[in-house]
Structure 1
Amino acid sequence: MKKGTFENTSGFAQISLLILIFVFCALLCIILLRLQMPLTSGMREADILRITLIIQDLIIFILAPLLTQFLLWKESTKKALQLTVPYFPVLLWGLIAITSVSPLIDLLNTWNQGLHLPESMKGMEQWMISSEKAAEVTTNTLLNTDNWGGFIVNILIIAVMAGIGEELMFRGVLQKILINWTRSIHWGVLCAAIIFSAIHFQFFGFLPRMILGMVLGYLYVWSKSIWVPIAAHTLNNALTVTLTSSTFNKGDKLIETVSGTPNNLGYIIIGTAIFAFSMWRIWRFHQVQSALNK
């Protein structure tokens, strides 16, 4: 097929194509994981999880969006995905924004975890709780390390590779399709953020992850460079890995202190104010660039 074969198709057709390629890559990933099982026999569970994540990120979240954009848009990959070098102040404000919004995200996470479904949906709630606990066990197994080598590998996989892959998929391709389909930046960003959160299958963290997805979505639109949300996503995940108490299972006092700090109203207010100012600066950049390009 030629590049941009499906460029003039409907938004529904383009989403269907993305889903089809996603499923194909997921099946390919399953096949490769089964083939490598004899090679990983006897390895530690954490190392097997790391190999699984590497294969998953490369095939599902990097190969799939690259194939999709090739079939959807005739323009070069660099232009289609906005792989342009970002304006440095905008990149810096993006990193400040993703860091300063963390207290608010933590508060929303605490609130989200306290939600309960109606009694009539008790069975679904129990399934959601079981899924959440299973995900927590997997995460703790992956992060549980007492050496810097394991920590660095976790940063590369969970922060760098996930940041690149998920942003290519959800912002670079999915969000662009949705914006073009709905003819609205805001609806496109919101719908992509909902799908981004839902696909993680961690329901008691759905709202904060959706808000995070919206922040990354606007960073992409306003900065006009996918490297800004990639850098922000990578930093967010790196902080999560670093400040998770199971990261260094021998115990690190600084990490224990920071990760154990309760939600503080002062931190939330100050952080939210810095976040709002940072996003405003990026939005102003977008407005100026849009005016200059007219």
Structure 2
Amino acid sequence: MFPSVRGNPYLHPQIEKSLMIEQRTIRGGASDQEGNHPMKSLILLLLLAFSGAIILGAISVFIGLLATGVPVGDLEGALSEGAADVDFLKIVQAGSSIGMFVLPALLLGITEKRRHTYLDFKTQVNPSLWFMVVAIMFFSAPVFEQAIKLNEQMRLPEALSGLENWMKAKESEQERLTNLLLSDTTYPGLLTSLIVVAVIAAIGEEFLFRGCVQGILTRWFKNPHTAIWLTAIIFSAIHLQFYGFLPRMLLGALFGYLLFWGKNIWLPVLAHFINNATATISAFYLKRQGKSLDELDFSQQIPNYLYFTSFVLAAVLLYQYYKIATKQNTRSYGKTLD
């Protein structure tokens, strides 16, 4: 069902051009002047992300201190349940995300625009694909819920108990941060939560991982499926939430294929936004009812047979997305997916 990229005409013209450049360079034994090695692109991206996280993180802390009135010497106390402290945390989270994900992806695209296209905003998209992305995310939700439950049952051998305790500590730390970010039960608080957790996260992480990392790895391995799954693994691992590794990896792979077939970065951004926004809104209404996020579990409300039904429907929709997207590619570029 999924063809190999080697000799595959279903590539963005700029990517196909870059692969031809690299192949000619290897055959001729010349230095890589026109098409730089993917490792160089990856190192540059990491440097940009590291620098952006530090610079924008520091700036956002300064802005947060001014905007919320949190004492300079009480940054540790900012991680409490006070309303002003939550606002401070949201400002820092937003600034750090922009610095670590959004700006590095945009800067890499500008730096290497003569050689490679990472963020394709211009490829035409069949309007039905937008609706299909929404439907795919809706029907696949129970499947990912099952993946979460399966992942939570993970147990390491006794010899690795130290590693398991560290993983649990990181999980608790991330859970506490999430609780703080979503603790504001006012509607303005919901809006800012959606901006930080859904909008900025969806744009930034898709720009960086699907747009840049997946693009770089595709050039490196000459196989989009290897690139998609490696990117999904990196995407999941970097969140340091090990008991949610499996569902996040599967989500990352789904986003990767939405981009690979649809060719427009806004398609996986929409899917990512739907995923994060749904969780944010659900958590908001749980909080307003005085419930904890631990009660955000729909698995008990869904009959077992509906899991299989949702899987089938999601698979059918994804196949239709694949067919429509490749047909659009044929019409736009005169090429087919063989």
Relative to the length of structure 2, the TM-score reads: 0.78
SS of the aligned residue for 1:44 comes to helix
Retained in 2: the 8 A contact 1:109–1:208?
A: yes
CA distance in 1, matches of 2:215, 2:63: 35
Percent identity of equivalent pairs? 28
Of 174, 192, 197 in structure 1, the residue corresponding to residue 213 of structure 2 is 174
Determine if the alignment matches structure 1 residue 22 to structure 2 residue 49: yes
Retained in 2: the 8 A contact 1:81–1:226?
A: yes
- Structure 1 match to 2:38: 11
Alpha-carbon deviation of 1:31?
A: 2.6
One-letter identity of the residue aligned with 1:49:
L
CA distance in 1, matches of 2:317, 2:98: 32
Determine if the alignment matches structure 1 residue 60 to structure 2 residue 133: no
Retained in 1: the 8 A contact 2:64–2:92?
A: no
CA distance in 2, matches of 1:235, 1:26: 25
Retained in 1: the 8 A contact 2:119–2:207?
A: yes
Distance change >3 Å, CA 261–CA 104, structure 1 → 2? closer
Distance change >3 Å, CA 31–CA 226, structure 1 → 2? same
SS of the aligned residue for 1:49 comes to helix
- Structure 1 match to 2:5: none
Alpha-carbon deviation of 1:47?
A: 0.9
- Structure 2 match to 1:278: 317
One-letter identity of the residue aligned with 1:89:
S
Determine if the alignment matches structure 1 residue 93 to structure 2 residue 121: no
Retained in 1: the 8 A contact 2:129–2:325?
A: no
- Structure 1 match to 2:241: 202
Of 228, 238, 254 in structure 2, the residue corresponding to residue 215 of structure 1 is 254
Q: Which structure would you say has the larger Rg?
A: 2
CA distance in 2, matches of 1:80, 1:15: 12
Distance change >3 Å, CA 256–CA 134, structure 1 → 2? closer
- Structure 2 match to 1:81: 119
Retained in 2: the 8 A contact 1:143–1:247?
A: no
Alpha-carbon deviation of 1:45?
A: 2.2
CA distance in 1, matches of 2:158, 2:286: 40
Alpha-carbon deviation of 1:248?
A: 4.6
CA distance in 1, matches of 2:250, 2:272: 13
Retained in 2: the 8 A contact 1:219–1:228?
A: yes
Retained in 1: the 8 A contact 2:126–2:324?
A: no
Alpha-carbon deviation of 1:216?
A: 0.4
CA distance in 2, matches of 1:232, 1:289: 19
- Structure 2 match to 1:112: 151
Distance change >3 Å, CA 266–CA 203, structure 1 → 2? same
Q: CA RMSD in A?
A: 2.5
One-letter identity of the residue aligned with 1:45:
D
Retained in 2: the 8 A contact 1:167–1:229?
A: yes
Retained in 1: the 8 A contact 2:35–2:115?
A: no
Alpha-carbon deviation of 1:170?
A: 0.6
> Which deviations, in whole Å up to 9, do the C-alpha atoms of 1:108-139 show, x marking residues without a partner?
11111110111111111101101101111111
Of 215, 218, 226 in structure 2, the residue corresponding to residue 187 of structure 1 is 226
One-letter identity of the residue aligned with 1:44:
A
Retained in 2: the 8 A contact 1:112–1:204?
A: yes
Determine if the alignment matches structure 1 residue 144 to structure 2 residue 161: no
Distance change >3 Å, CA 242–CA 13, structure 1 → 2? same
Retained in 2: the 8 A contact 1:101–1:272?
A: yes
Determine if the alignment matches structure 1 residue 71 to structure 2 residue 111: yes
CA distance in 2, matches of 1:137, 1:257: 15
Unaligned runs of 5+ in 1: none
- Structure 2 match to 1:240: 279
Distance change >3 Å, CA 37–CA 279, structure 1 → 2? closer
CA distance in 2, matches of 1:123, 1:33: 35
Alpha-carbon deviation of 1:75?
A: 6.6
- Structure 2 match to 1:231: 270
Unaligned runs of 5+ in 2: 1-17, 19-31, 71-82
Distance change >3 Å, CA 256–CA 13, structure 1 → 2? closer
One-letter identity of the residue aligned with 2:158:
E
Corresponding residue pairs, total: 287
Distance change >3 Å, CA 30–CA 157, structure 1 → 2? closer
Relative to the length of structure 1, the TM-score reads: 0.89
Alpha-carbon deviation of 1:290?
A: 4.1
CA distance in 2, matches of 1:176, 1:124: 32
Alpha-carbon deviation of 1:71?
A: 1.6
Determine if the alignment matches structure 1 residue 44 to structure 2 residue 84: yes
Alpha-carbon deviation of 1:38?
A: 3.9
Distance change >3 Å, CA 47–CA 279, structure 1 → 2? same
CA distance in 2, matches of 1:90, 1:6: 38
Alpha-carbon deviation of 1:93?
A: 0.8
